[in-house]
Chain A
Amino acid sequence: MKTTTVKEYTYKDFASDQEIRWCPGCDDFVILRAMQKALPEMGVKKEDVVFISGIGCSSRFPYYMDTYGLHGIHGRAPAIATGVKLANPNLSVWVITGDGDSLAIGGNHFIHVLRRNIDLNIILFNNEIYGLTKGQFSPTSLVGQKTKSSPYGNTQPPFSVGELAIGAQARFFGRIGGNTPKEMTQIFIESEKFKGTSLIEVLQNCPIFNDGCFTEYTDKAVREDKQLFVEHGKPMIFGKEREKGLVLNKLKLEVVTIGENGITQEDLLVHNAKEQDPTLHQMLVRLRDPLITGIIRSFDDVTLEERNAEQTEEVKSMSNFVKTDDLFFSGDIYIVE
């Protein structure tokens, strides 16, 4: 974390004067407010915060933050952010993207930024649809989903964000419903603390083109039974009465009820987000009943900028070149009189 004194901010310090143009009822408003609330808690100077986005509804986000921001081009935000961070590692750099932006046109940058592990935070607004182009299916749309570009049903199977990300070496993966701002704020703060690329998938409802896409998990009435919010070091418990939990049975995750068949809380899996081996994290990511939310993976690893800095120091210490003149006049030179 930055050590110099940082002003006391409130969420208002991070709100720009621009009129917000998202559709009424969109979860994007929740995410924006959660971010504006999280930033004052991070101990980061406002002038050191940068938001980089691609194209899509979500990518308008930087205009609404009173920080530095760059609204880029479709799919390229992770690459732009990589340049920002390598140029000035002191900055707190955030990538704002959507399912089409990051997984379709920007798929290449998305997997490579995760592989490299640069200290960036990526928030992926997943609404399983293209909103800004008015309702075409996206790489996370379900098979059979009827959209403007799949009037008879989508025939392309979807990506699972978490599986793809962890497969691409993501060290930090969190997932959160678009209607749980308190937990979302907390995850944003944790992702800033994490050194390395953190990816947070927000299950974001699009009230216009894909309304209710996550209702089965996020609706208040069913949420506690359909979601398991994991926390590092705590047992995997969920349910209205906190009566259900997860155990590992052979090679499968299994839902059990505490008190039935002699199951006690001690039998439940304890979440270890910091485990390097991603096997269990992948299983958690895949699970649909319940859907796992919270920080699923948070494995500390060396970052790209740390590796680069170390290498630069080493090369500097071994080199005789201080100024370019030292290079230009080195080796085979000759004098004409």
Chain B
Amino acid sequence: MVATETKQQPKVLEAVIIRFVGDSGDGMQLTGTQFSDTSAMFGNDIATFPNYPAEIRAPQGSLYGVSGFQIHIGSVEISTPGDEVDLLVAMNPAGLKTNLHAVKPGHTIIVDTDAFTKKNLEKAEYESNPLENGSLENYRIIEVAMTSLTKEALKDVRGLDSKSIIRSKNMFALGMVYWMYNRSTDHTIDFFKNKFKSKPLIVEANTKVLNTGFYFAETLELIPNAYTIAPAKMAPGTYRIIMGNTATAWGFLAAAEKTGLELYIGSYPITPASDIFDELVKHMHFGVKTLQAEDEIGAITSAIGASFAGNLAITMTSGPGLALKGEALGLAMIIEMPLVIVNVQRGGPSTGLPTKTEQSDLLQALYGRNGESPVIVIAASTPANCFDFSYEAAKLTIEHMTPVILLSDGYIANGSAPWKIKTVADMPEIKTNFLKKADENWHPYDRDEHTLARKWTIPGTEGLEHRVGGLEKDRVSGNVSYIPENHEYMTKIRAEKIKRVQNYIPDQTTEFADSGDLLVIGWGGTYGSLYTAIKELNEEGYTNIGLAHFNYINPLPKNTADVLKRFKKIIVCELNTGQFASVLNINFNGFEFLQHNKVQGLPFGNKELIQKFKRLLK
């Protein structure tokens, strides 16, 4: 008995990376989300990375139809979903084949043996069954006939069709993993009860299969050792798990409440930005107004109309949509109207890789319009701070009367992490500058002497009727003007207005080191990857490497040159071929900007970064 007890004493780990893979219809996203939510409730720090094909239901069993969900949970700080996995759950041969490379040698793979049929092996382009041919001997393979066990578990539940039965096998896998990592099934059972309120049969079936998986792992002792991950040491407070896109949506809700403005969203569905609209449209109870427009152009132009009429107007899209919105963005810029455009970047060009991540729209955001057309560009860098930066985008657009592009990307938009909940009271003030009355000398393009922003004068205001439009304006009267010198003056003052935003944004900070041998520069969604790699190096004793991660791209923080000067070498890391590096090159003479780039639709891996940085530190 003593021996058994020792055996059951869970092994304590600092962090573990788990990946669930299967067909795109196998429910891997749900399985992964449930595991991460449960772990967060348990107090772990988490980071997640869904990786799925563009096809909603790709042909069953095919290599390109594999959908995956990776979770990194820890008792220590977690900043990325991680790269190499400790546990792979493969629901079919295609999932095994496409993900095997990511499993650490000697680590565990759970497979559904029922899915390893001749047909599925062929579809996965296996010449022989990898479970039988010895090719997996470097791994610990746990073979479970999940489909049959699921069927067996549900044989007494009457009224379930065979499709629903087979579909619930993902819960068998989840149940097993819950037991392995010492997690309770309660959260997921509550989730079923809520989600399928009107379908008690589905609740019963899923609960049963989940528990069966859990007890299977426990009682049959197929799994020799169990693991536990202790709660992480996180700052005290109230938390929830939030997805980047949800956080973005909520930041706008908070900004609307803070300002008392009505929130208007004009949008057109596009992956991976649609979730933001789908989230906001739920919150009509806060008075959110939404228009699913006829196209990307209708989405942004309706938002311009709403802004003209005094709403806080937002539109969201992804790369191809930003291209379509370009002309309208120029209009918003020249009429100097508040407008936030969220661009959740994905792999490009053209349709590119819709469900994969990339940072290749930076130059489009900065320069992708006709004429000289500068706008504020900022970038969120973690799922949770999408909230802060959508709020910041709203603040900047209103206070500076110019469009703001908020860059996010598929990685942080779909990824989730703990968010220490903020309340509207915690958020900084946003000053609206509506003009209600004016003397006779008033003109629509009169500017604030500090920010150069004009006033927001909206229809319905008596006596201030005026016209704005895409034609160049006279610097004084605001009427249409073709005078050459006036055009040059207006071009320069619009640029100066953006430049002066520098006076209202925080200085660029560095982490790990303020000066030293190597400065790693990143921006946007790569923060977690870069932070994790440098932290690891730092713990190894490399104290001469610093990280400057940029959230403000245009304008750049005032002290940027000072930061650059303090390091011997600078390397700019981004998921494109060097767009931010080129921006830095244009703006800062006398520095050599080394580059580390990746354009594979994937985030940086930890190992690749560490190797790269170590080489530069030698």
> What is the interface of chain A, defined by CB distance below 8 A to chain B?
16, 18, 45-50, 52, 55, 62-63, 65-73, 76, 79-88, 90-91, 108-109, 111-112, 308, 311-312, 315-316, 318-319, 321-325, 327-329, 331-337
Contact = CB atoms under 8 A, between A and B. Distances in A.
Interface stretch (B350-358, B418-426, B567-575, B578-586): B418-426
A46 B465 CA distance: 8
Interface string B177-202: 00000000001000000000000000
A194 B328 CA distance: 30
Interface in B299-317: 299, 301-311, 313
Nearest to A45: B462
A312 B253 CA distance: 16
15 contacts: A47-B461, A48-B460, A69-B467, A71-B471, A76-B328, A79-B301, A80-B305, A81-B305, A85-B309, A86-B306, A88-B460, A108-B295, A328-B240, A328-B250, A334-B43
Given A63-B467, A69-B469, A324 B462 contact: no
Question: Which 8 A-B residue pairs are closest in the complex by CB-CB distance?
Answer: A71-B469, A83-B305, A83-B302, A319-B285, A87-B309, A69-B467, A83-B306, A80-B305
Contact of B294 (A108, A316, A319, A332): A108
A86 B264 contact: yes
A311 B284 contact: yes
Interface footprint category on B: 35 or more
B289 interface: yes
Contacts of A16: 467
Contacts of A71: 467-471
A111 B236 CA distance: 54
B270 interface: no
Interface string B309-338: 111010000000000000110010001000
Contacts of B235: 336
B614 interface: no
Contact of B298 (A69, A76, A90, A333): A76
Given A47-B459, A47-B461, A70-B468, A108 B264 contact: no
A137 B180 CA distance: 72
A83 B264 contact: yes
Residue in A55, A79, A332 whose Cβ sees the most chain B Cβ within 10 Å: A79
Contact of A83 (B238, B283, B313, B421): B313
Given A63-B469, A87-B262, A321-B283, A18 B479 contact: yes
A321 B284 CA distance: 10
Given A80-B305, A336-B236, A324 B424 contact: yes
A168 B241 CA distance: 45
B522 interface: no
Nearest to B335: A70
B306 A84 contact: yes
B468 A69 contact: yes
Given A84-B305, A312-B285, A335-B237, 15 more contacts: A48-B460, A67-B465, A70-B468, A80-B302, A84-B306, A85-B309, A86-B264, A87-B289, A87-B309, A88-B310, A88-B460, A318-B285, A333-B239, A334-B41, A336-B239
Nearest to A314: B284
A63 B480 contact: yes
A219 to B, nearest CB: 35
B591 interface: no
B284 A316 contact: yes
B287 interface: yes
B374 to A, nearest CB: 18
B190 to A, nearest CB: 9
A81 B255 CA distance: 24
A49 B326 CA distance: 28
A182 to B, nearest CB: 27
B167 interface: no
Given A47-B463, A336-B43, A327 B253 contact: yes
Contacts of A49: 459
Interface of B: 37, 40-41, 43, 187, 231, 234-241, 250, 253-254, 257, 262, 264, 266, 283-287, 289, 291, 293-295, 297-299, 301-311, 313, 327-328, 331, 335, 421-424, 458-471, 479-480
B437 to A, nearest CB: 12
A90 to B, nearest CB: 7
A291 B478 CA distance: 43
A85 B459 CA distance: 11
Contact of A68 (B239, B303, B467): B467
B462 A79 contact: no
A116 to B, nearest CB: 9
B276 to A, nearest CB: 15
B459 A84 contact: yes
Nearest to A118: B291
B237 to A, nearest CB: 6
B284 A312 contact: yes
A117 B143 CA distance: 60
Nearest to A81: B305
A79 B465 contact: no
Given A70-B335, A72-B301, A91 B459 contact: yes
Contacts of B40: 334
A327 B241 CA distance: 13
Contact of B424 (A52, A62, A311, A323): A323
A70 B469 contact: yes
Contact of B309 (A79, A88, A111, A337): A88
Given A87-B310, A108-B295, A335 B467 contact: no
A73 B305 contact: no
Contacts of A111: 294
Nearest to A14: B465
A308 B266 CA distance: 14
Contacts of A81: 305
B327 to A, nearest CB: 5
A324 B43 contact: no
B257 A112 contact: no
Contacts of A66: 465
Q: Which among A71, A88, A336 has the greatest number of chain B C-beta atoms within 10 A?
A: A336
Contacts of B479: 18, 63
A112 B293 CA distance: 9
B331 to A, nearest CB: 5
A62 B463 contact: no
Nearest to B424: A324
Contact of B240 (A68, A82, A312, A333): A333
A191 to B, nearest CB: 19
Contacts of B465: 46-47, 66-68
B303 to A, nearest CB: 6
Given A16-B467, A48-B460, A69-B467, A82 B187 contact: no
B257 A323 contact: yes
Contacts of A108: 294-295, 298
Contacts of A72: 301, 304, 331, 469-470
Given A47-B460, A70-B305, A76-B328, A308 B289 contact: yes
Contacts of A337: 236
Contact of B305 (A79, A311, A334): A79
Nearest to A18: B479
Nearest to B302: A83
Contacts of A83: 264, 266, 291, 301-309, 311, 313
B479 to A, nearest CB: 6
A96 to B, nearest CB: 12
A50 B459 contact: yes
Contacts of B462: 45-47
Contacts of A324: 250, 253-254, 257, 286, 423-424
A331 B465 CA distance: 47
